[in-house]
């Protein structure tokens, strides 16, 4: 069972894949990158053929128009190289821009764009001779050898047929006229190069799925790693219990601070207690400022008595408010009538204690509570 747990059979989690990207571990295909460079080189060569041919003609004209004095002048070489550079600046600049763009796009097709400083850090494991030998004679090295042999075979075969196909056109280049011969030569070389590069699509179509599968396999996790990651994300039971205890303690303190501002506390009489507050001048319904069962209910009653907040026993209403309303929220519409009778009694009792009016009658135990809001518990 222990060996089975160590097998990488689980799919990588989102966190695992994100960590891999941060370390620079993403799916990459060297064959796709090579194809991008070569393909963009061929396309660039075809695109710049007119500009390059004009520049080559200009350079040859300069070479064959030197007089005797210029040949023996030491400064001629520096001037000559400067003119060559200016003649090739535009076509070669465009060429390298297209090649760089093609290389960039090809390398981000698989795995997307990703830059990681962690990938540049030196690793002692890469300097281990034993691991180096393992990489040289391992499965990966064998796969790379097979790919190299396959590439060589494909390129040589395609090159042979391309040269055989275009051989008459290559021979006819010697019969061409300047400056058209330069354009024809560059376009012919670009066409052969482009078709030769396209032959590598066979290798790339195999290598890209293989690299994706290999990368996915490397990211797979053991069952223990999944458990550890979930545990670290959610926290250990001890820590979560401590957090819940702290949250409950904070909630208790906040509730007990709000109980003295309540208008009435409705009880069950011992198992449940809910503290209600109502602002007659406002537009909101009565809301629950504190509620609890058993020990918490006892604490609410204790704070209410110390603060001279009226306490009324009405089990159906206490249970209904407790189960339907969260702390800080307004009571549901179905309990408006029942709570209104309780509050009316509290206000009349308050006036009676101040010497105004007669003592009110205690509200009936059978308050108007809808059936769907009743929660009958056994005492």
The dihedral through the CA atoms of 247, 253, 255, 258 has a sign that is: negative
- Model confidence band, residue 334 (pLDDT cutoffs 50, 70, 90): confident
- Model confidence band, residue 97 (pLDDT cutoffs 50, 70, 90): very high
In 10 A of CB 28, how many CB atoms?
A: 17
Which residues have CB under 8 Å from 196's CB, separation 6+? 42, 155, 158, 159, 162
- Please list the alpha-helical segments (H only) found in 12-48: 14-22, 30-47
Half-sphere exposure of 42 (CA within 13 A, CB side): 17
pLDDT in tens, 15-74: 788 877 777 778 888 888 888 888 888 888 888 877 887 787 778 777 777 676 766 777
Higher pLDDT, 236 or 67: 67
DSSP of 126-145: GG-HHHHHHHHHSHHHHHHH
- Model confidence band, residue 2 (pLDDT cutoffs 50, 70, 90): very low
- Model confidence band, residue 379 (pLDDT cutoffs 50, 70, 90): very low
The dihedral through the CA atoms of 360, 366, 372, 373 has a sign that is: positive
pTM summary value: 0.47
List residues bridging with 292 in a β-sheet. 273
Q: What is the mean pLDDT of residues 181-187?
A: 77
- Model confidence band, residue 231 (pLDDT cutoffs 50, 70, 90): confident
pLDDT at 323 over 60: yes
Higher pLDDT, 161 or 185: 161
């Amino acid at each position: 069972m222990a060996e089975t747990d160590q097998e990488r059979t689980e799919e990588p989690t989102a966190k695992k894949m994100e960590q891999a990207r941060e370390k620079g571990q993403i799916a990459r295909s060297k064959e796709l990158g090579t194809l991008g460079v070569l393909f963009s080189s061929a396309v660039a060569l075809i695109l710049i053929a007119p500009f390059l041919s004009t520049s080559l003609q200009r350079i040859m004209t300069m070479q064959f128009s030197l007089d005797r004095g210029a040949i023996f002048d030491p400064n001629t070489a520096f001037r000559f190289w400067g003119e060559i550079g200016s003649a090739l600046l535009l076509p070669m600049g465009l060429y390298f821009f297209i090649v760089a763009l093609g290389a960039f796009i090809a390398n981000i097709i698989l795995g997307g764009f990703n830059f990681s400083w962690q990938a540049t850090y030196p690793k002692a494991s890469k300097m281990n001779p034993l691991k180096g030998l393992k990489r040289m004679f391992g499965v990966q090295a064998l796969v790379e050898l097979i790919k190299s042999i396959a590439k060589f075979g494909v390129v040589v075969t395609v090159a042979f047929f391309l040269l055989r196909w275009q051989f008459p056109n290559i021979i006819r280049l010697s019969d061409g006229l300047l400056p058209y011969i330069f354009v024809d030569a560059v376009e012919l070389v670009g066409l052969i190069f482009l078709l030769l590069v396209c032959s590598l699509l066979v290798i790339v179509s195999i290598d890209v799925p293989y690299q994706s599968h290999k990368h996915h396999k490397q990211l797979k996790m053991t069952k223990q790693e999944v458990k550890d990651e979930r545990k670290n994300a959610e926290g250990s039971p001890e820590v979560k219990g401590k957090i819940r205890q702290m949250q409950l303690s904070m909630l208790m303190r906040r509730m007990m601070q709000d109980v003295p501002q309540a208008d009435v506390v409705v009880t069950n009489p011992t198992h449940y207690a809910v503290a209600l507050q109502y602002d007659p001048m406002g537009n909101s319904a009565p809301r629950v400022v504190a509620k609890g069962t058993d020990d918490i209910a006892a604490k609410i009653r204790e704070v209410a008595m110390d603060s001279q907040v009226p306490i009324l026993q009405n089990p159906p209403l206490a249970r209904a408010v407790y189960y339907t309303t969260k702390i800080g929220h307004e009571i549901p519409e179905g309990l408006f009538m029942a709570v209104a009778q309780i509050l009316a009694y509290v206000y009349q009792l308050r006036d009676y204690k101040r010497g105004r009016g007669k003592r009110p009658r205690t509200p009936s135990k059978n308050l108007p509570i809808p059936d769907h809001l009743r929660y009958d518990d056994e005492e």
